[in-house]
């Protein structure tokens, strides 16, 4: 996938300007590339449509090639799809003993992941964890968990021959309560394919254990199939999250993308090897970078955008200090303020403006007002923005009406602009420009 995408974007990055047609052509190839990486058809289609919309609406950023900009948009959209709500690494384990049910196909990495997570919960969260193998299909599987437990110093439920999974789950709960464990993990049996027996057994265990978390373990190397597995398990058992294993190999993050898009279930952890420490909290940025195989370009674009913003801010500062502070500057300033947590947040960051921040707060100056002011400025012509002093009654009326506001609102804005301009000029004369610039960084 990455090679293919690199090819597409390489071609784009070499072109000077990017037309809407270019975006469409590029995204058509992105779609094919996604499909080749086993992203399911509807997911790839939705994804591409989404990016097309975003890319088309966006102004071309200067000093970044259009191709790079598309990369950034594709990358951000990927992260958007991959990202779940909340912290993926935080398991619901209050009210001890909390049961965690591990499900998935045979060989997906359930037993390994059970031990890895138990170790993590013990070391990071100081939890006491008990592990129990419910894999009665393969006696060796129960042994496997016991051996891992000894290796990492985590208790396992003693093996009793001839017990069925439901009975083991009950015994695990009793043992966890009596033994004062915070968490008990139930490692279930898997099969090569989803079948009725597998689901029936998992459902029976679920009903007994009433798990706080049901984690579906999926081999990250499987493509399309991962989606079917996830959909099926979620429909029949109900899962609270997914663990993607074998992401240390050259797995195609494609499975992650479509599983996430289709089931809406959060990906919680990523398995990165056979060792007991080889597990990490899922980071959408990393998988996105991997799917695209071009994290460097994305970083480069981000850097460029930062630079552009910094340059603009610096230019504006210089003009302001000279008393050339027009409506374009104010508008930019206001939008910056919105980004930086509103007027109060912004003024609070400037030295000596704490008092003004307070006044602004008392005046009920919130983000809504900022947006209204930006709307007023947008409603001005280019000339008016550059020379706000030419605004007389009729122009004012037109501008206010255009923004759906009153002339009095506009007058307030103009007054604020004048005051800010005066203040900036004063500060420029006092030589405090440096200090202010510092504060704005």
**Known binder of ligand: residue 136?**
no
**Known binder of ligand: residue 412?**
no
Q: Judged by CB, which is closer to Mg ion: 188, or 326?
A: 188
Q: Judged by CB, which is closer to Mg ion: 111, or 136?
A: 111
Site mask for Mg ion (CB under 5 A), range 49-68, x = bound: --------------------
**DSSP per-residue letters across 295-316:** HHHHHHHHHHHHHHHHHHHHHH
Q: Judged by CB, which is closer to ligand GDP: 92, or 275?
A: 275
Closest to 151 measured CA to CA, from 119, 199, 128: 119
Strands 267-271 and 279-281 come out as antiparallel
**Known binder of ligand: residue 248?**
yes
Q: Which stretch binds Mg ion (CB under 5 A): 58-66, 104-112, 335-343, 383-391?
A: 104-112
CB of 284 to Mg ion, least distance (A): 28
Identify what 108 binds: Mg ion, ligand GDP, none; CB under 5 to 8 Å per kind.
ligand GDP
CB of 148 to ligand GDP, least distance (A): 9
Long-range CB contact pairs, 144-147, < 8 A, 24+ = 144/111, 145/111, 145/114, 145/115, 145/187
Q: Judged by CB, which is closer to ligand GDP: 109, or 342?
A: 109
Identify what 248 binds: ligand GDP, Mg ion, none; CB under 5 to 8 Å per kind.
ligand GDP
CB of 18 to ligand GDP, least distance (A): 39
Cα angle 285, 272, 209 (rounded to 5 degrees) comes to 95
Identify what 246 binds: ligand GDP, Mg ion, none; CB under 5 to 8 Å per kind.
ligand GDP
Which residue in this structure is represented by tokens 């923004």? 403
Closest to 370 measured CA to CA, from 398, 396, 400, 409: 409
Q: What does the binding site for ligand GDP look like in residue numbers (CB under 6 A)?
A: 104, 106-112, 190, 217, 245-246, 248, 271-274, 278
**DSSP per-residue letters across 11-30:** HHHHSS---HHHHHHHHHHH
Q: Judged by CB, which is closer to ligand GDP: 109, or 165?
A: 109
Q: Which of residues 320-349 bind Mg ion (CB under 5 A)?
A: none
CB of 108 to ligand GDP, least distance (A): 4
* Nearest residue to Mg ion, by Cβ distance, number only: 111
Q: Yes or no: say if 142 and 135 are a contact pair by the CB < 8 Å rule.
A: yes
CA dihedral 268, 260, 273, 146 (to 10 degrees): 60
Q: What is the CA radius of gyration of the chain?
A: 29
Which residue in this structure is represented by tokens 């009950």? 170
Site mask for Mg ion (CB under 5 A), range 105-144, x = bound: -----xx-----------------------------x---
**Known binder of ligand: residue 273?**
no
Instruction: Say what angle helices 342-349 and 367-378 make with each other, to 10 degrees.
Output: 100
CA dihedral 323, 329, 331, 335 (to 10 degrees): -120
**Known binder of ligand: residue 188?**
yes
Q: Which of residues 134-193 bind Mg ion (CB under 5 A)?
A: 141
CB of 232 to ligand GDP, least distance (A): 16
Give φ, ψ of 372 to 5 degrees: -65, -40
Asked whether position 201 contacts Mg ion by CB under 5 A, the answer is no
Please list, in sequence order, all residues whose beta carbon lies within 8 angstroms of the beta carbon of residue 34, skipping any fewer than 6 positions away: 1, 43, 44, 47, 48, 254, 257
Q: Judged by CB, which is closer to Mg ion: 109, or 284?
A: 109
**Known binder of ligand: residue 187?**
yes
Q: Judged by CB, which is closer to ligand GDP: 135, or 409?
A: 135
Identify what 54 binds: Mg ion, ligand GDP, none; CB under 5 to 8 Å per kind.
none
Euclidean distance between CA atoms 243 and 57, whole angstroms: 36
**Known binder of ligand: residue 320?**
no
**Known binder of ligand: residue 122?**
no
CA 152 to each of CA 149, 155, 156, 278, 410: distance values in angstroms, whole numbers, following the listed order:
5, 9, 11, 13, 69
CB of 30 to ligand GDP, least distance (A): 28
Binding site feature residues for GTP: 104-111, 187-191, 245-248
Binding site feature residues: 104-111, 187-191, 245-248
What does the binding site for Mg ion look like in residue numbers (CB under 5 A)? Answer: 110-111, 141
């Amino acid at each position: 996938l990455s090679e293919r995408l690199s090819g597409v974007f390489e071609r784009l990055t070499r072109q000077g300007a990017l037309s809407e047609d270019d975006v469409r052509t590029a995204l058509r190839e992105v779609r094919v590339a996604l499909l080749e990486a086993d992203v399911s058809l509807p997911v790839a289609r939705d994804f591409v449509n989404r990016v097309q919309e975003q890319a088309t609406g966006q102004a071309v950023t200067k000093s970044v090639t259009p191709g790079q900009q598309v990369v950034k948009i594709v990358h951000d959209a990927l992260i958007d799809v991959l990202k779940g709500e909340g912290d993926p690494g935080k398991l619901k384990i209050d009210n001890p003993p909390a049961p965690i049910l591990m499900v998935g196909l045979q060989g997906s990495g359930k037993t390994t992941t059970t031990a890895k997570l138990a170790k993590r919960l013990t070391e990071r969260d100081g939890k006491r964890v008990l592990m129990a193998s419910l894999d009665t299909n393969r006696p060796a599987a129960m042994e496997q968990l016991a051996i891992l437990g000894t290796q990492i110093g985590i208790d396992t439920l003693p093996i009793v021959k001839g017990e069925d999974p439901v009975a083991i789950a009950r015994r695990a709960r009793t043992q966890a309560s009596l033994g004062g464990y915070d968490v008990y993990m139930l490692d279930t049996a898997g099969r090569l394919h989803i079948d009725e027996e597998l689901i029936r057994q998992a459902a029976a265990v679920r009903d007994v254990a009433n798990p706080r978390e049901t984690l579906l373990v999926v081999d990250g190397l499987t493509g399309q199939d991962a989606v079917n597995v996830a959909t099926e398990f979620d429909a029949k058992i109900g899962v609270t999250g997914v663990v993607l294993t074998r992401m240390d190999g050259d797995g195609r993050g494609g499975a992650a993308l479509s599983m996430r898009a289709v089931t809406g279930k959060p990906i919680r952890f990523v398995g990165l090897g056979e060792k007991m420490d080889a597990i990490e909290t899922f980071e959408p940025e990393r998988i996105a970078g991997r799917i695209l195989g071009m994290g460097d370009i994305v970083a480069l674009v981000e850097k460029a955008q930062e630079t552009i913003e910094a340059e603009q801010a610096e230019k504006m500062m210089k003009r302001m200090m000279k008393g050339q502070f027009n409506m374009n500057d104010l508008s930019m300033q206001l939008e910056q303020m919105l980004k930086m947590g509103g007027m109060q947040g912004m003024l609070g960051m400037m030295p000596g403006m704490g008092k003004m921040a307070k006044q602004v707060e008392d005046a009920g100056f919130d983000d809504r007002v900022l947006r209204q002011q930006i709307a007023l400025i947008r409603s001005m012509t280019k000339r008016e923005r550059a020379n706000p002093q030419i605004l007389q009654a009729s122009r004012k009326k037109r501008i206010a009406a255009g923004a759906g506001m009153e002339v009095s609102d506009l007058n307030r804005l103009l007054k604020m602009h004048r005051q800010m301009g005066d203040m900036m000029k004063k500060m420029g004369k006092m030589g405090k420009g440096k200090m202010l610039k510092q504060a704005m960084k």
